[in-house]
Amino acid sequence: MTMEHRVRVRELGVELTGEPGPWNAITDVPGVEVGYVTLVEGDGVRTGVTAILPRGRGGVGVPCSAGWHSFNGNGEMTGTAWIEESGSLAVPVVITNTYAVGPVHRGVIEWVRANCRGMAPEWLLPVVTETWDGHLNDIHGAAVGPGHAAAAIDAAAAGPVEEGCVGGGTGMRCYGFKGGSGTASRVVEYGADRYTVGAFVQANFGARRELVMAGVPVGRELTDPAGGAADAAAVGDGERPVPPGAGSVIVVVATDAPLLPGQCKALARRVSLGLARTGTTGSHFSGDIFLAFSTANRGALTSTFPETDGPAGAPYESLRFVPWGRMDPFYEAVVESVEEAVLNVLTGARAMTGRDGHHVPALPLDRVGALLAARAR
């Protein structure tokens, strides 16, 4: 692996629309925390775990309004049936590689049992999701264990978020270049109020020829080191190569705007438009699954066993929400922040060599800068 200097996309002088938050990250949404465990060991371990906590560790168990969307279902996100049923999310969202969903799922349960004794002691439905890192990582190995999920949750913090080859994104590829973890945010003015919409992306999708940056189709001009434009990923001996565009993308959208569960689902659907701005047409072999939540209306959408019967034990809850007819600025913020988060993955991720000597180059920033400048002229 090389240690070349990497940047965020705005540092390349790329002009993007919308006003970002202070960190230009999902953590600009108050209360949201992100934690990583990154595993790079020997020649074959290039993987990890990412934890996103909607209300921080102290808020685990306090539900958020939530909704999810599958743009292409060749992937996994556990717990979505309950999100669809209840419209709520009360647990960390944890992202890893495809074959590590099981141990990470168990790790979340163990962390909650140890740290949130009053939270649903009878049952828990963790939200664990994945993308495939088998080109660089020995995905059949047992590198990721339950303890890594707990460590990622314990590492979660507010503030700036590291991007590129970290956490669950460690071994990922994006548009034929090194992929991984990325984030961005947008501020939405709503009358006298200002809200934030933030996106976090684990990017492992897209064919090189598709890549578009700020409207410029740079992927057509970027060839691999051998001089070709192919970006299929080799796998193990005797296995067929993975076609360009395969791999998956997970996106988590957060906001502090007061929204209904159905409105969160509408935000999740707009993620597809943000990805499309970066060029993807949506590969059949890519699991593209998105989750959105709102941290407003704290204390509502609870789902606990009733303690008493009768009138005294029959409370009501209420939700304050943005009218449906005024949702367009929030949709715009999702599209803009998702686009920028993907580009931050590409500009932040370093080249990496992994299992069986497989190598994935980093996006060539000098070449991209020249292409963007030429188009601007």
Residues 148, 146: Cα–Cα separation, whole Å: 5
Q: What letter does residue 225 receive in the DSSP assignment?
A: T
DSSP-derived 3-state class of residue 315? coil
Rg of the chain in Å (alpha carbons)? 20
For the question of residue 248 being annotated catalytic, the response is yes
Place of tokens 């309004």: 65
| φ, ψ dihedrals at 46, nearest 5° | -140, 75
Going 159 to 160 to 163 to 166, the CA torsion angle's sign is: negative
Task: Supply 238's token pair.
Answer: 């005797």
Pairing assessment for the beta strands 93-97 and 127-131 based on DSSP bridges:
parallel
Beta bridge partners of 50: 36, 95
Residue 140, burial from CB neighbour count under 10 angstroms (0-12, 13-18, 19+): exposed
Task: Supply 271's token pair.
Answer: 């993620």
Written as one string, the DSSP assignment of 165-206 is S-GGGTT-EETTEE-EEEEEEEEEEETTEEEEEEEEEEE--B
Answer whether 67's CB lies under 8 Å from 89's CB: no
Answer whether 95's CB lies under 8 Å from 345's CB: no
In the set 65, 88, 181, 286, the catalytic residue is 286
Answer whether 47's CB lies under 8 Å from 144's CB: yes
| E strand or H helix at 130 | strand 127-131
Answer whether 50's CB lies under 8 Å from 168's CB: yes
For the question of residue 286 being annotated catalytic, the response is yes
In the set 65, 248, 294, 337, the catalytic residue is 248
Residues 344, 16: Cα–Cα separation, whole Å: 12
Residue 307, burial from CB neighbour count under 10 angstroms (0-12, 13-18, 19+): exposed
Residues 6+ apart with CB under 8 A from 370: none
For the question of residue 185 being annotated catalytic, the response is no
Place of tokens 């590291």: 162
In the set 133, 288, 294, 337, the catalytic residue is 288
The residues annotated as belonging to the active site are 248, 286, 288
